[in-house]
Structure 1
Amino acid sequence: MVVEQNVSLAPHNSFGIVAKARELVRVRGEAEVVQLLADPALAGRPTFILGGGSNIVLTGDVRALVLKVEVAGRRVLDDGPRATIVEVGAGENWHDTVAWTLDQGFPGLENLAMIPGTVGASPVQNVGAYGVELQDRFESLDAIDLQTGRPFTLDATQCAFGYRDSVFKHPPADAAEGGSRGMGLAGRALILRVRLRLPKPWKPVIDYADLQRKMAETGIRHPTPRQIFDWVCAIRSAKLPDPRVIGNAGSFFKNPTVTPEQCTDIIAREPGIVHYPMPDGSVKLAAGWLIDACGWKGKSVGNAGVYEKQALVLVNRGGATGGEVVTLARAIQTSVYERFGIRLEPEPVVV
């Protein structure tokens, strides 16, 4: 295990914000974590787990010990009649993994193409796009406890998946009585490997409006997995800036959900609002539409701005600080709340 000093994090966060890690350890397996916990100079130190850096906003140098997850490897565990199970190292790139599964002849992840970040981060956020969420294709994962050094495995139920949510986003908490630990694993669990379940027979998920438009444009009524993959890549490329060109963290805010009554009230005032009925009876509103309606598209605060093609995306126009991104995000939240009475919740973690 090597502890690197004063490591630039600019290449390791998709916003491209300039910051440093005072100390950084590259985790390529369980061994590095075990060594860390056995080192009296490092054991007990606050830690910060870093994957692909696509869902964070750095507001300064990171004083905690940064654990850069670089666990590699992809393999097929089982190719049975009902599903294919693949296991992927947490440090592997998510989009490259989606492409790899298709190259191997195992469809099911095509709707999740071009989501930035690593495989290990996908369960944390329960990533989703175009009608599919990670939980729909999840089998289990292996992680290691950063306090005890013990490895453990979680299934989907234990991960407590929700909309852009999981057990990994909630801190451990002492119960009000008895002092027992809560179920949150934020900052305590480091994900090492993720297993994905790709069901058979394959069924396309093409109900999303943008995919329906692609079907109409091409005249293809029964697209293949590769065609859906290509469509998703084209749709996302047209809407979202490439982080290698313009720093960003993808969709910055979650799409809020409201009751049918709240939606009806908003529609009475704003007939054009984009909304989607949900299976549980609630209604999801398009956060990008709300932001655009408040006039934020193309606007800036310092060097942080709202992307001209998609109001849901905040960008680094060059030299933006984390403070400028946070200030812009809060101003947007205030505008949307004042006009619609809805509180937008950011997706990225502010560090």
Structure 2
Amino acid sequence: METNNQHEFGNCFVQIMDYVVRHYTGNCLPENVLFAAGSGMLCSFGKKFVDNTSYPYIIGFAGKGYFERASKNLNIRTSLEREPVNAEEAAGKILEYVKNKHIICFQMHENDIGEHPAFKVQRNKNNILNKNFHHVIPVGLDLDKKQIVVWVSASPSSFVCTLPIDMVVQSWLHSVEVFPGSSFFWEGADNSNTQDFSQLEYLKEVSNEILNNHSLPERCFSWFTPSCFGLNAMWQFANELPLWMHNVNSEEAVYRKAFSELVALKADIGYCLTQIHYTVQHVYDNTKNPILSELPDAFLKIAEEWGVISNLFFKASFLESPTLLILRISERIKKNHDQLEKTLVLLNKL
């Protein structure tokens, strides 16, 4: 299995899907097509808890269901394997999939593997940003040394390292306990999936099929309905920020932690909107649908605004009293919300 190709994608789920498509078909899809194939766009609002307090948070990429949707749209066969319940079963599944050159993907926690020299060197070399759970794919075995070669999906780029079998197995079992159902299994590509993905005509076919099946618009319009998702989530987040600052203004450590995490909005919601921009631009280039003519630039401007908002949160983390800046951020998010709503309404006319 592949061990030497770095995948520089902005999201680990899309990065893994790229690995799967390359492995089973030998083809390379643009990032926005992989993203659109899994209809990964979703925005949800919630709260993160630290000790005895909490802070508002918003996320932008829907990992749940992405692999199923992308695999179905791209004609990659999945397997309904159940996750392992003990070390022997976990090791057996890894051995079976690697020997058969199929793909099994699961998560490993930084606390389980972060201090191992092989992992530590690669993480530092690649300037890996995420230090929580990492998606990995076993790609090789050395049974004599009781080691597994794992391909690690990470931002800004994937990498490969060799770890002890016991460490990998225990970390997988840990992730199954924390995130049951997070493991995924693939077993091949359908015979129909033999075309050259790099050809413009096939890209046009993929994009049109995604839009005609309403996969992408429906996922976008989850932004419209549930109370804690989509446009409502953005509005709730914008309203909650000033209230939260008023209530926890004295708890410096809490809001500094919140700001440091909210900097990721640029790579989260901004990423989703950027991929929608590329997808809509691609479809417009191929269809010349006049409804789409102004949408690519509109999505791009909305995505760029999340980059500005992200930078403002970074600035707030250094201020002794960030309340006024938080009010500004709140107003910018509301304006971004209004612009996105108008843009989605236009997209809904497809």
TM-score range, shorter chain: under 0.3
Bigger fraction of residues in strand: 1
**What is the TM-score with the length of structure 1 in the denominator?**
0.26
- Larger helix percent: 2
TM-score normalised per structure 2: 0.26
